[in-house]
Amino acid sequence: MHKVTSTSSLGPGGLDLTQSFFKPIQNTAPPSPTKRHTKISVIGVGNVGMAIAQTILTQDLADELALVDAVKDKLRGEMLDLQHAAAFLPRTQILSSTDYSVTAGSDLCIVTAGARQNPGESRLNLLQRNVGLFKKIIPPLAQLSPDAILLIVSNPVDVLTYVAWKLSGFPSNRVIGSGTNLDSSRFRFLIADHLDVNAQDVQAYIVGEHGDSSVALWSSISVGGVPILSFLEKQQISCEKETLERIHKEVVGSAYEVISLKGYTSWAIGYSVANLAFSILRNQRKIHPVTVMANGFHGIEAAGGGGEVGEVFLSLPALLGRGGALAVTNVHMTEEEAQRLRDSAKTLLELQRQLDLEV
């Protein structure tokens, strides 16, 4: 039975319409166990979490949506605001609680919770604070939904995806970070807008660390199947390295631009994550640049072997489906691009090494 609100005016003590309103059909079998019931949990109901939750709701991606946060009133207010739209949406059960039990049995858990950087705070310090937060979030999530896919959005997303993997005990294919999926969307938008074509016809990946040192894979950009760089060469249109750097910087800068203008970003990351949720839950086997365990791919050393090399998570073009990250595509990279990727990995490993992950 789906009873979300406890209203005093309808129900026992108020007006009880349930008595004989419907006549049940006798001897009904319960729904078959293979019947699809998709549950998504969103942890953190700030601007990002709510943009994600609302987009998921509008795109009808789940039968059940659970919201979790530490602030009770805000959490309940957001839940009610979504529930009040019931007349305009397909029926979705919307729940919320400060208690993680509400997330039990999730197919997908999206974590957006995270401390904000204090002025003058070092990145390592912010990271350590977020690790502290994840120690409270990830273990109960993983325990209550042992088969779920974890999708980490909180920043810095690459290291926090690694942290979530460690704390959850999940196989690495089931712990993914939103990574450079949105950076790549902004990249594709810039190129598409310039060429006046649909952004979905532009294939362009930004990979590596989600942040200032992300790697734009210029050598594999194509529009309607036409590889751009070789096209430019054939047309003898000169293309300076500095120009490409500037375009890449513009992509990286556009997030900061939105933050400086409206205070935060929300809508684009909302669509980006809903896009990933759809690919995963509906087994689309689409390729997305997302944070995955990168060891063994594109020249990033495999972990273990008694050496110093640890596991590292960063964005690579990955095939996503119901089982999570299924494969990494062997996209072509120039030696320079591959080197920058390995440098990214080194930086992240160094950061991870300094973290205290003891639970």
Catalytic residues: 210
Query: Would you say 78 or 209 has its CB closer to a second copy?
Result: 78
Cβ burial, residue 126 (10 Å; 0-12/13-18/19+): middle
The distance of closest approach from Cβ of residue 201 to a second copy in the complex, given in angstroms and rounded to an integer, is 10
Q: Residue 231 interacts with a second copy (CB under 8 A)? A: yes
Query: Would you say 114 or 270 has its CB closer to a second copy?
Result: 270
Residue 306 annotated as part of some ligand binding site = no
| Helix, strand, or coil (residue 132) | helix
Q: Residue 7 interacts with a second copy (CB under 8 A)? A: yes
The distance of closest approach from Cβ of residue 76 to a second copy in the complex, given in angstroms and rounded to an integer, is 5
Report the distance separating Cα 210 and Cα 142, nearest Å. Answer: 24
Q: Residue 58 interacts with a second copy (CB under 8 A)? A: yes
x-marked contacts with a second copy along 135-174 as a string, rule CB under 8 A? ----------------------------------------
End-to-end CA distance of the chain: 37
Q: Residue 256 interacts with a second copy (CB under 8 A)? A: no
Q: Residue 195 interacts with a second copy (CB under 8 A)? A: yes
x-marked contacts with a second copy along 62-81 as a string, rule CB under 8 A? -----------xx-xxx-xx
The distance of closest approach from Cβ of residue 251 to a second copy in the complex, given in angstroms and rounded to an integer, is 9
Q: How many residues of this chain bind a second copy (CB under 8 A)?
A: 89
Report the distance separating Cα 170 and Cα 151, nearest Å. Answer: 12
Query: Would you say 131 or 277 has its CB closer to a second copy?
Result: 277
Q: Interacting stretch for a second copy, rule CB under 8 A, among 48-56, 206-214, 308-316, 341-349?
A: 48-56
Q: Residue 27 interacts with a second copy (CB under 8 A)? A: no
CA dihedral 278, 279, 280, 283 (to 10 degrees): 110
DSSP letter string over 52-120? HHHHHHHTT--SEEEEE-S-HHHHHHHHHHHHTTGGGS---EEEEESSGGGGTT-SEEEE---PPPPTT
Token pair belonging to 170: 């999940």
CA dihedral 219, 221, 224, 227 (to 10 degrees): -20
Which of 130, 129, 70 is CA-nearest to residue 100?
70
Residue 8 annotated as part of some ligand binding site = no
Q: Residue 8 interacts with a second copy (CB under 8 A)? A: yes
Residue 11 annotated as part of some ligand binding site = no
Contact 20, 87 (CB under 8 A): no
Binding residues: 44-49, 69, 130, 153-155
Binding residues for NAD(+): 44-49, 69, 130, 153-155
